[in-house]
A and B are shown apart, each in its own frame.
Chain A
Amino acid sequence: SQTIHQWPATLVQPVGSPLSLECTVEGTSNPNLYWYRQAAGRGLQLLFYSVGIGQISSEVPQNLSASRPQDRQFILSSKKLLLSDSGFYLCAWSTGSAQYFGPGTRLTVL
């Protein structure tokens, strides 16, 4: 069966520090991968999605970036965090219609 992992589960970082969140999927091949941010009262905001290795589509221009170095690995990064980057980050995968989500990473930027 397929599983999706996110690391770390929680993170507290100072403003201006770098960020790296990792998402890995097991049990499937060539999935579409997604990064979402969920802020209180604002629903799910799609940040990036990828249909293959090295292929990244950016939905919202900001100081975040994403990379897909391997088929089942998706990384969300930032060189300098802003206060507004705080939120709950969710990774998801799909191979057809439904998307399946990871457990999330709660990021607090102080």
Chain B
Amino acid sequence: SQELEQSPQSLIVQEGKNLTINCTSSKTLYGLYWYKQKYGEGLIFLMMLQKGGEEKSHEKITAKLDEKKQQSSLHITASQPSHAGIYLCGADIYSGNTPLVFGKGTRLSVIA
């Protein structure tokens, strides 16, 4: 079974619209990490969340961690073509020096 579920799998939004991507864990989250990937490239680290209720923002991207629900959301305000790509969440679910587990990603397309 998948330990980290992302939804939706893909998303097409019109430029200027807001959107939300969710990441839900089947286990306790000790840390949640958001990445962005453009096709054929490596993953770019966006943000790290470690405390319940924590919220971080970078430009027009905001991520929140709901520890009780073992869930994180990534919200993009006023989307732009530059936001297009694949967004992946990674999680530390073993609380130690262990690799992160990753969701399958959400493919975002922004159309003019």
Asked if residues B42 and A99 are in contact (CB atoms below 8 Å), the reply is no
Q: Across the interface, name the chain B residue whose C-beta is closest to A6.
A: B42
Q: Which residues of A contact B (CB under 8 A)?
A: 6, 32, 34, 41-44, 46, 49, 51, 59, 88, 90, 92, 97-104, 106
Would you call the interface of chain B mostly helix, strand, loop, or mixed? strand
* B interface residues, how many (CB within 8 angstroms): 22
Find chain A residues with CB under 8 A from B97 CB.
32, 51
By a CB distance below 8 angstroms, the chain B residues around A92 are 43
**Interface of A, helix, strand, loop or mixed by DSSP:** strand
Residues on B lying within 8 angstroms of A by beta carbon are 31, 33, 35, 40-45, 48, 50, 88, 90, 92, 97, 99-105
Known: A51-B97, A97-B50, A98-B33. A44 touches B102 (CB 8 A): yes
User: Which residue of chain A lies nearest to B46 when distances are taken between CB atoms in the complex?
Assistant: A98
Q: Which B residues lie within 8 Å of A6 (CB)?
A: 42
20 further A-B contacts with Cβ under 8 Å, apart from A32-B97, A100-B45, A104-B41, are: A6-B42, A32-B99, A42-B104, A43-B102, A43-B104, A44-B88, A44-B102, A46-B99, A90-B42, A90-B43, A97-B31, A97-B33, A97-B48, A97-B50, A99-B33, A99-B90, A99-B100, A101-B44, A103-B42, A104-B42
